[in-house]
Amino acid sequence: MKHARVFFENQTHSVLVEADNSVRLSDGRLLAEDQVQWLPPATGSMFALGLNYADHAAELSFKAPTEPLAFIKSPGTYTGHNQVTWRPDNVAYMHYECELVAVIGKTARNVKREDALDYLAGYTLCNDYAIRDYLENYYRPNLRVKNRDATTPVGPWIVDVADIPDPSNLVLRTWVNGELRQEGNTSGMIFDIPFLVEYLSSFMTLQPGDMIATGTPEGLSDVVPGDEVIVEVEGVGRLVNRIVSESDFFSAPHRATREHA
């Protein structure tokens, strides 16, 4: 099953998503995909992985890490399916990152690898945009690179764990204006999801709604205002986002959209 959060008739609704991506409200009403505003399906902290694909590390001329390179993204960075993200003025390089995301379903502390999937609510995906101009060190991405308002589309929904029998063998793809720019497979992860749940929960408590963004494969490129970027993870979903300028984003219509997240 697929579970989502949407905004409709001035209310936030937790909904089930049908096979055609229509959503069913708790009162039984069925709404088309374009009748609702899609919100991030989870709102906890996001623990994101840097250089978690060997081909991506090689693409950047870095050695593959021997321990997870994790950093935290705040909920203010999230935005939903079919929403917009802004490119800051006067930057040279902003790129997408298609990522499989594991969503925590129950409190997790000192979880063993073999039990890790029992602690998940399911899987979603994100587009972890990065502003490369401010990247001082790939091993320590700073806040200006990864924590800008509404620069991490997440969603559209959470897919149950049982519906993804092998999260370590899923195709990831990114299109920009209909052109395929990135393609990889989660088999290329250096640290897989069970390892990451065990690792993170060994020194901190993961809460329901927290997310683990598992990194991106090679194939990054610059995106600019006017671009439509679609990221897809096989079996999980397809997430659409559009890039606008900084001045356009901070105009009233886009502010209103963000307030519902």
Rounded to the nearest integer, the mean pLDDT of the chain is 90
- Report, as an integer, the average pLDDT of 61-89: 88
The pLDDT tens digits of the residues spanning 6-38 come to 999 999 999 999 999 999 998 989 999 999 999
Give the confidence band of 62 by pLDDT, cuts at 50, 70, 90.
low
- Report, as an integer, the average pLDDT of 87-92: 92
Cα distance between residue 192 and residue 102, in whole Å? 10
Question: Cα dist. 211→94, 101, 247 in Å?
Answer: 23, 6, 30
- 137: pLDDT strictly greater than 70: no
Q: Is 203 helix (H, G, I), strand (E, B) or coil?
A: coil
CB atoms within 10 A of CB 149: 17
Q: Which one is predicted more confidently, 136 or 98?
A: 98
- 256: pLDDT strictly greater than 50: no
Q: What would the two tokens of residue 175 be? A: 């299109």
Quick check: 47 and 199 in contact, CB under 8 A?
Answer: no
Cα distance between residue 260 and residue 255, in whole Å? 9
Helix, strand, coil shares, percent, the chain, to 5: 20, 40, 40
End-to-end CA distance of the chain: 22
Considering just the CA atoms, what is the radius of gyration of the chain in Å? 17
- Report, as an integer, the average pLDDT of 235-243: 97
- 259: pLDDT strictly greater than 60: no
- Report, as an integer, the average pLDDT of 68-83: 93
Residue 92's contacts (CB-CB under 8 Å, 6 or more residues apart) are: 132, 133
Q: Which one is predicted more confidently, 104 or 253?
A: 104
- 134: pLDDT strictly greater than 90: no
Cα distance between residue 219 and residue 97, in whole Å? 9
Q: Report the percentage of the chain scoring pLDDT > 90.
A: 75
Residue 255: its pLDDT value, please?
52
- Nearest to 2, CA basis, from 164, 152, 175, 115: 164
The pLDDT tens digits of the residues spanning 139-178 come to 565 667 787 889 999 999 999 999 999 999 999 999 999 9
Quick check: 260 and 37 in contact, CB under 8 A?
Answer: yes
- Report, as an integer, the average pLDDT of 122-150: 79
Residue 106: its pLDDT value, please?
96
